[in-house]
Amino acid sequence: MARIVGGVGTTHVPSIGKAIAEHKDKDPYWSPFFDGFHAVHQWLGRVKPDVAVVFYNDHGLNFFLDKLPTFAVGAANEYRNEDEGWGIPVSKALAGDAAFSWHLINALVADEFDITMCQDMLVDHAVTIPMALMWPGGGSCPVKIVPISINTVQHLLPSVSRCLKLGRSIGHAIESYEQDLRVMIVGTGGLSHQLDGERAGFINKEFDQLCMDKIVNDPDALTRYTISQLVEQAGAQGVELLNWVAMRGALTGRVSELHRNYHIPISNTAATMLLDNQAVAQRQAA
Ligand SMILES: [Fe+2]
């Protein structure tokens, strides 16, 4: 049976892609952020995941404001990236696992999630940058992915509660998959930041820390925030927290925090979090 090994929450700021391309990970300006991934690399080397389910939001590469699904699930064996206009190199295509995607899609529809199924899906920096951070060096990514896009861009957005339930549905679906896959969950984006308007540059460190604490131990506590309140607390683009919430929802076992890094000065907040997921049955057997 498939097993959920843990989750990673990470920012996906485009300038990180440029820093990777220009090999600036050791620069004093960037190293406090990139160094935060050493623990993730060690963990990945230990758990050796086969598949990554990636909750993210598309920024206009695959969907645009005229047609923007609330939830979209990739069902392809390959996901390409294209030039997004950020000045970052186009990434290599990432391998998918269409059979596993369809299993998850079946379970989501059975749980009454009205999703968009994408047999052809471009993935943007919100997927490619986290993958490059987790597996640096420019080689082929060793895991297959299932990209799940959540609309955090065009209001009205799904609620925190809905995203948590989406993640939980995915988590239960993974655990019912018959193949012996080791599955990691990724949530990308955020945390607090705002790119435009009067509050451009807005960051709320205190709220970010609160969210990270709750993501570990009490994700349901975050459902008290409406989307408007999230925008107020985290900034217009800080609602990308929804991707982290879905990631946490998919961790259905006993969750513990293995690592956290929080570094502000790279134009937006740059948070990284690593969570272990110990299956309940495995815990009872231990
Ligand atoms: Fe973003």
Please tell me the distance between residue 273's alpha carbon and the centre of ligand 1 in angstroms: 17
Average pLDDT for 232-256: 96
Please tell me the distance between residue 162's alpha carbon and the centre of ligand 1 in angstroms: 20
- From the list 23, 172, 193, 259, the catalytic residue is 193
Inform me whether the pLDDT recorded for 75 exceeds 50. Answer: yes
Tell me if 83 sits within 8 A of 38, measured CB to CB: no
* 71: three-class secondary structure by DSSP: strand
pLDDT value at residue 268: 73
pTM, two decimals, is 0.96
Inform me whether the pLDDT recorded for 282 exceeds 70. Answer: no
Inform me whether the pLDDT recorded for 277 exceeds 70. Answer: yes
SS3 of the chain: helix, strand, coil, percent, to 5: 40, 20, 40
What's at 46, amino acid-wise?
R
What's at 122, amino acid-wise?
L
CA distance 156 to 195: 19
| Alpha helix (H) residue ranges in the chain | 14-21, 31-34, 38-47, 98-110, 125-134, 160-175, 205-217, 227-234, 241-249, 280-285
CA distance 218 to 78: 35
Tell me if 235 sits within 8 A of 193, measured CB to CB: yes
Inform me whether the pLDDT recorded for 285 exceeds 50. Answer: no
Please tell me the distance between residue 240's alpha carbon and the centre of ligand 1 in angstroms: 7
Please tell me the distance between residue 261's alpha carbon and the centre of ligand 1 in angstroms: 18
122-158 pLDDT tens trace: 999 999 999 999 999 888 899 999 999 999 999 999 9
Average pLDDT for 39-58: 98
Active-site residue 12, yes or no?
Answer: no
Average pLDDT for 16-30: 93
C-alpha angle 9-200-264 in degrees, rounded to nearest 5: 40
Average pLDDT for 40-67: 97
Tell me if 175 sits within 8 A of 253, measured CB to CB: no
Please tell me the distance between residue 124's alpha carbon and the centre of ligand 1 in angstroms: 10
pLDDT value at residue 281: 64
pLDDT tier for residue 286 given thresholds of 50, 70 and 90: very low
CA distance 130 to 150: 16
Please tell me the distance between residue 199's alpha carbon and the centre of ligand 1 in angstroms: 17
Please tell me the distance between residue 253's alpha carbon and the centre of ligand 1 in angstroms: 28
| Closest by Cα among 67, 51, 72 to 119 | 72
- Which tokens hold the place of 255? 């969750």
Active-site residue 193, yes or no?
Answer: yes
- From the list 59, 103, 125, 263, the catalytic residue is 125
What separation in angstroms does the CA of 125 have from each of 41, 57, 175, 242, 284? 20, 10, 28, 17, 40
CA distance 121 to 105: 15
